[in-house]
Amino acid sequence: QSTWGEYLRLANMEPSLQHIIAQQSFRWIFVGGKGGVGKTTCSASLAVQLSQSRESVLILSTDPAHNLSDAFSQKFTSQPTLVNGFTNLFAMEIDPVPEIDETMLDTGNRTTMLEMMSAIPGIDEAMSFVELMKQVQSMRFSVIVFDTAPTGHTLRLLSLPNTLDKTLAKVMSFSDRFSSLFQQAQQVGAMMGMSNELGGVNSDDVIAKLTSTKRLIEQILVQFRDPEICTFVCVCIPEFLSLYETERLVQELTKQDIDTHNIIINQVLVPEPGCESRLLKARIHMQKKYLDQFDLLYGEDFHIIRLPLLEKEVRGVNALKSFSKMLIDPTILEQGQHWDILPRE
């Protein structure tokens, strides 16, 4: 029966996130997975470790059910707030789909432009994501950690730039035809005394805005697909549904050319010496089956980090600082030092 120590010796990939901490080129780090697996605790712990080697770190929650405030025991808002006990770690909780900034459509008659833009399927959500990324890009942080919503929402969020890029490309491919129809509509409107209905909007304005937006989206896609700048850390627990969803997440991220080579397996049960609980033994046996499957599927190409289920919740800055050490030092779990890793209340 393999032990954790044997796993460490046999693993082809280092079972820690030290390589992420050391890679100074990373600007975007997404942390995501199935609901209820501990994404916020893991992303907050990663941000804590990054703060020790980066000039400035922002952890940003895009989950509508924000948990960052609970994890740090500090209230956060939609503006970057310095985390208590740090000089360079900031946190914020935002709506992942804010309203479109209408100033980007300010080309005469704003209402007409919005109506025309909204005619493109899915553009409201996609344009809102672009606005979110514009806001994030304007912030001067060394690295930004995204504490994301559950898998389905996250995949949709990450696919929006690509979706919008394809949509705008298709719309712009008909720009000449669109321009001709638009001019004809203006001429007909003028003949019928309706010259003001289009409010001074012309096809060139529309195409110019679409071109500008498409260029911004292309920049975002380039960064998302650059493994030197962006990576995705998957979080899961050793159970069937979580294993299945992690596999789906990895496949979708690969399709979108987003780097993912790190999996955190959270809430791993570790028996205390002399424990005779039948329930605990059964659960450990069940978890081992899925831990072995994770190792079989991802052991050669992924950094697999195991984090134990502890007696207490990981809440507050001191608890997160202590817990985060296990992301970079797997021997803490191997040597059984995790039992006393959280500060006493």
Residue type, 131: E
pLDDT score at 5? 47
**3 vs 344 pLDDT, higher one:** 344
Catalytic residue among 63, 147, 165, 259: 63
Q: Has 63 been annotated as catalytic?
A: yes
**Whether the Cβ atoms of residue 48 and residue 89 lie closer than 8 Å to each other:** yes
Report pLDDT for 104: 46
What is the per-residue pLDDT across 90-137, written as a single tens digit (0 to 9) for each? 999 886 555 554 444 444 444 544 555 555 555 555 666 677 777 777
What is the arithmetic mean of pLDDT over 75-85?
Answer: 93
Smallest CA-to-CA distance from 291 within 275, 276, 280, 304 is with 304
Average pLDDT over the chain, rounded to an integer: 80
pLDDT, one tens digit per residue, over 246-296 is 999 999 999 889 999 999 999 999 888 788 889 999 999 999 999 999 999
Banded model confidence at residue 7, pLDDT cuts 50, 70, 90: very low
Q: Determine what percent of the chain is predicted with pLDDT higher than 70.
A: 73
- For the chain, the 3-state helix, strand and coil shares in percent, each to the nearest 5, are 50, 10, 35
Around Cβ 150, how many Cβ atoms within 10 Å? 17
- Which token pair is 102? 């209408």
Collapsing DSSP to helix, strand or coil, 8 comes out as helix
pLDDT band (50, 70, 90) for residue 195: very low
Displacement of CA 86 from its chain's centroid (Å): 23
Q: Residue 177: how many CB atoms within 10 A of its CB? A: 9
Between 47 and 273, the higher pLDDT residue: 47
